[in-house]
């Protein structure tokens, strides 16, 4: 009789089984998303496998968290688990869909950080509970519960315990959303130790040093003379890659703008970083009347617009670094979050060092601590930092922060208040509404009647931009302002106008090609007084050129990796760091990251330059 009695399983064994259960679900789900939902087919198979394998590090950690939270539930006999609890499990676990879907293309998905990120969860809640995701998980959860019933055993525990744990977790989550507790947790404590070690190793993995031939090619292409010296690699690379913003060049348009700018009183430079806005939604790039951005198009035609402008990376933080620091950072080489140990002067810090009479302002519609933005700009001695925290709370906010209408109304009032002391203000405004999952605020009516959510939010943001311009004109700021509107990056939604039908790397163009216009009263008056000057500029330019142009306009001595937007001559190449490699738009060519890190000599100027950049930034402390 004793021999026939089943030996009770230990709590440890049961817990490990539950953890294995969640881990299995996550791995299956990751494979499902990679192959069916949102895997980037443009990436080579080896690279996608690397992403998949490294992503499982995060899955192990999240499985541990879920097992810890829900272990009491799995001590209940399966027969007593009703459909409601099964649905709860499915819904909770389906949050994993957001992480994998949104971060599938990254080497490190940072699941643990975003698991506790209330802003990310609330912004992606619609994506997390998509019907496809829920059905997928329901099937997996129901099947695996049968497996659990056999493997965990029939040890009983009171369902009230689960209710208690669930209630505590729910209250904690609500408190987190309300008070944003996770923003005060140090980043090193937010990441799985194994994942953190891997990331530390990955971000410091250097390409092999440039050989003599590569250095010679780089120097020749950039018109510089450099003596090859392995022992002085840092000095050699600094001399090659960094150049003064006042590097000689010629442009009648720029000279006219600078003369008009210098003559203005209470002048302002206003930089607007438009979230995920693409040229394919504008009429500036084709002979068409189809547009979602009529306000932007009007500004471009009355000022200047660049038809071949490209981002330096694929996230907002890299765009900020490019525009105000003139660097070429990408998602994996960003200084704002990934390289907080590195230090270099951006424009705000540079003017403080030189004691120049400029004030830099940062106005963000989202959470300031996201991606360590506010800390980064504090280190760079930004004069004023304003975010959604200071803006009026209303029902029109999205998960990412204040609606663009609220943001622009606040920004217009802010700029008017700061236009009275006679100093030159250089302000950066960051929009957030046109962001996945494309939640549309209802505070204004828009013209677009599309059923595509991203088209609606694009049109909404453009309408808000138009209201902002009208407010600037009403307050007389417009007359002496230079307005720079630039996208932070693109997206992979279906294009409104197909600009890349004949391109090989269509997705990479859609992600990296950005809008860039220069308007404001100063630019408009230059165009009005000089009708022979064309609005359209077709040469290839980078977001990093904006910092150089601003420094050149204000005669600020500044070392940069960009060039003047208006000069035909340029020293640095135009390319986008896409994380898994670099994309060269002028050649419609992609260079994988593995090639950049290998011993094999590189041939293209852009690839050699980026390899040198990866070497250089590891010397910056």
pLDDT tops 90 at residue 590: yes
What is the rounded (10 degree) CA torsion for 147, 153, 158, 163?
-20
Contact partners, residue 241, CB within 8 Å, separation at least 6 = 561, 572, 609, 612, 613, 616
Length of the chain: 621
Distance between CA atoms of residues 273 and 275, nearest Å: 6
Q: Which residues of the chain form CATH 3.40.720.10?
A: 242-357+427-441+457-586
pLDDT tops 70 at residue 124: no
Q: Which two tokens stand for residue 515?
A: 């809008």
For the segment 491-501, the average pLDDT, to the nearest whole number, is 93
- Taking 3-state DSSP, the helix, strand and coil percentages for the chain, each rounded to the nearest 5, stand at 50, 10, 40
For the segment 26-47, the average pLDDT, to the nearest whole number, is 51
Q: Is residue 561 very low, low, confident or very high in pLDDT (cuts 50, 70, 90)? A: very high
Q: Is residue 180 very low, low, confident or very high in pLDDT (cuts 50, 70, 90)? A: very low
pLDDT tops 70 at residue 515: yes
Distance between CA atoms of residues 136 and 138, nearest Å: 6
For the segment 177-206, the average pLDDT, to the nearest whole number, is 43
- Taking the whole predicted model, whether its pTM rises above 0.85 is answered as no
Q: What kind and span of H or E run contains 95?
A: none
Which ranges constitute the DSSP H helices of 94-158? Answer: 96-103, 111-115, 118-123, 125-128, 131-151
Distance between CA atoms of residues 68 and 429, nearest Å: 42
Task: Give the end-to-end CA distance of the chain in Å, rounded to a whole number.
Answer: 71
User: What value, to the nearest 5°, has the Cα angle with vertex 241 and ends 235 and 247?
Assistant: 115
DSSP state of 479: G
Spell 301-328 as b/e; 16+ CB within 10 A means b.
Answer: bbbbbbbbbbbbbbbbbbbbbbbbbbbb
Instruction: Determine the pLDDT at residue 602.
Output: 85
Q: In CATH terms, is domain 242-357+427-441+457-586 a member of 1.10.240.10?
A: no
> Most confidently modeled of 58-72, 409-423, 523-537?
523-537
pLDDT tops 80 at residue 320: yes
Contact partners, residue 573, CB within 8 Å, separation at least 6 = 584, 605, 606, 609
pLDDT digits (tens, 9 = 90+) for 199-243: 444 444 567 788 888 899 999 988 888 888 888 888 899 888 998
pLDDT digits (tens, 9 = 90+) for 380-427: 999 999 999 899 887 788 878 899 999 999 999 999 988 766 779 999
Instruction: Determine the pLDDT at residue 169.
Output: 45
Average pLDDT, the chain: 77
Contact partners, residue 544, CB within 8 Å, separation at least 6 = 312, 322, 323, 326, 327, 328, 560, 561, 562, 572
């Amino acid at each position: 009789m004793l021999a026939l009695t089943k030996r009770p399983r230990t709590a440890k064994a049961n817990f490990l089984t539950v953890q294995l259960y969640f881990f299995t679900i996550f791995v299956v789900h990751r494979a499902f998303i990679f192959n069916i939902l949102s895997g980037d087919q443009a990436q080579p198979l080896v690279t996608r496998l690397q992403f998949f394998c490294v992503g499982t590090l995060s899955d192990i950690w999240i499985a541990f968290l879920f097992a810890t939270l829900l272990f009491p539930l799995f001590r209940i006999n399966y027969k007593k688990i009703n459909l409601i609890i099964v649905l709860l499990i499915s819904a909770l676990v389906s949050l994993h869909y957001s992480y994998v879907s949104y971060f599938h293309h990254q080497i490190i998905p940072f699941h643990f950080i975003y698991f506790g990120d209330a802003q990310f969860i609330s912004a992606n809640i619609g994506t997390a509970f998509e019907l496809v995701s829920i059905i997928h998980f329901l099937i997996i959860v129901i099947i695996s519960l049968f497996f659990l019933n056999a493997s965990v055993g029939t040890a009983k525990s009171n369902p009230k315990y689960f209710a208690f744990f669930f209630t505590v977790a729910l209250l904690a989550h609500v408190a987190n959303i309300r008070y944003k507790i996770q923003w005060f947790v140090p980043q090193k404590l937010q990441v799985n130790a194994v994942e953190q070690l891997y990331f530390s190793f990955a971000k410091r993995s250097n390409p092999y040093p440039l050989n003599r031939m590569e250095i010679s090619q780089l120097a020749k292409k950039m018109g510089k003379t450099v003596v090859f010296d392995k022992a002085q690699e840092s000095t050699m690379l600094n001399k090659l890659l960094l150049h003064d913003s006042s590097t000689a060049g010629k442009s009648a348009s720029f000279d006219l703008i600078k003369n008009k700018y210098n003559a203005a009183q209470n002048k302002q430079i206003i930089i607007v970083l438009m979230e995920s806005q693409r040229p394919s939604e504008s009429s500036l790039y084709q002979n068409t009347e189809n547009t979602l951005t009529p306000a932007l198009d009007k500004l471009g035609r009355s000022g200047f617009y660049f038809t071949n402008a490209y981002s330096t990376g694929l996230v907002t933080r890299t765009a900020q670094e490019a525009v105000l620091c003139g660097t070429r950072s990408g998602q994996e080489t960003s200084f704002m979050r990934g390289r907080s140990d590195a230090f270099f002067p951006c424009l705000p810090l540079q003017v403080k060092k030189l004691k120049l009479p400029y004030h830099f302002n940062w106005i963000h519609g989202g959470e300031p601590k996201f991606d360590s933005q506010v800390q980064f700009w504090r280190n760079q001695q930004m004069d004023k930092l304003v975010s959604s925290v200071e803006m009026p709370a209303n029902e029109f906010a999205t998960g990412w922060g204040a609606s663009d209408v609220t943001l622009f109304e606040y920004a217009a009032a802010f700029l008017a208040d700061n236009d009275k002391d006679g100093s030159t203000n250089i302000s950066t405004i960051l929009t957030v509404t046109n962001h996945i999952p494309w939640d549309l605020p209802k505070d204004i009516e828009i013209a677009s009647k599309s059923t595509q959510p991203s088209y609606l939010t694009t049109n909404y943001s453009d309408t808000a931009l138009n209201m902002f311009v009208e407010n600037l004109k009403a307050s007389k700021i417009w007359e002496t302002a230079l307005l720079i509107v630039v996208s932070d990056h693109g997206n992979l939604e279906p294009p409104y106008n197909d600009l890349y039908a004949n391109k090989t790397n269509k997705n990479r163009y859609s992600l990296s090609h950005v809008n860039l216009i220069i308007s404001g009263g100063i630019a408009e008056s230059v165009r009005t007084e000089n009708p022979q000057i064309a609005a359209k500029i077709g040469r290839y330019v980078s977001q990093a050129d904006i910092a150089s142009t601003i420094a050149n306009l204000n005669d600020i001595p500044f070392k940069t990796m960009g060039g003047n937007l208006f000069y035909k001559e340029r020293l640095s190449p135009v390319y986008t760091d896409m994380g898994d490699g670099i994309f060269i738009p002028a050649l419609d060519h992609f260079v994988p990251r593995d090639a950049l890190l290998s011993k094999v000599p590189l041939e293209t100027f852009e690839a050699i330059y980026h390899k040198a950049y990866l070497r250089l930034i590891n010397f910056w402390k």
